[in-house]
Structure 1
């Protein structure tokens, strides 16, 4: 994957700390991820509906980046070619501005691998939950 190669290059140049270059191995704690999501993500994002500031997260895992209908994504996001899975989420959530220059997401990232793993575990769990993602 392009982003993984970019991260390795940035790591070798000393731009990324070692913890950001490693991909989440999964197995995060979704309960802790829910707390982190509420604290760090929910000010802009909603699970079930896009807001003026951010696209919805229901159905995120497995979705092509920049593809929620009606949301005005940055050109960087629309043309990224990414599909959100554990690896791409881990990379992006670790350093959004480095992984995707031009993103308009106003969040610097989760520097701790455990935080990313927990948020990803939460997103994997709720993004397909019909109670959370009722249409």
Structure 2
């Protein structure tokens, strides 16, 4: 029993997600994002930049999108941890961003959204996860 508790604490300390990710549930969360962001093979920039290949990309670098100076100068490279922080409160993570979204607070929904977004490579093709 003590070993299980210690292992649980160890994994939590490593920053492992507390919830399993569910891409299908994340697609339902993405419905909120769709008003401004597109994803997939025919995605284009809109009110917000397209989200293809988000993870591993440097913030403010999608060609043809007019980013705020704050976003371009943030130095952020998107990964799961940074995105989770950002989506909870975009203006706190990047003061001066143009993104007006109030934030997604539910950790499970954030993890599901990440799973959905991770499916798309830079060309908008779905990859095996």
Q: TM-score, normalized by length of structure 2? A: 0.76
| Runs of 4+ with >2 A deviation | 48-52, 126-133
- Structure 1 pair 98/87, CA: closer, same or farther in 2 (3 Å)? same
* Structure 2: gaps of 5 or more residues: 1-14
* Structure 1: gaps of 5 or more residues: 1-22
User: Rg bigger for which structure?
Assistant: 2
- Structure 1 pair 66/128, CA: closer, same or farther in 2 (3 Å)? closer
- The answer as to 2:30 corresponding to 1:37 is yes
1:41-99 per-position Cα deviation (integer Å, ceiling 9, x unaligned): 00110014333311111111110000001100011110000001001100001111111
- The answer as to 2:84 corresponding to 1:90 is yes
Match of 2:60 among 66, 69, 73: 66
The number of equivalent residue pairs is 110
**How big is the alpha-carbon RMSD for the aligned residues of Structure 1 and Structure 2?**
2.1
Given that residues 50 and 71 in structure 1 are in contact (C-alpha distance below 8 angstroms), is that contact kept between their aligned partners in structure 2? no
SS in 1 for 2:95: coil
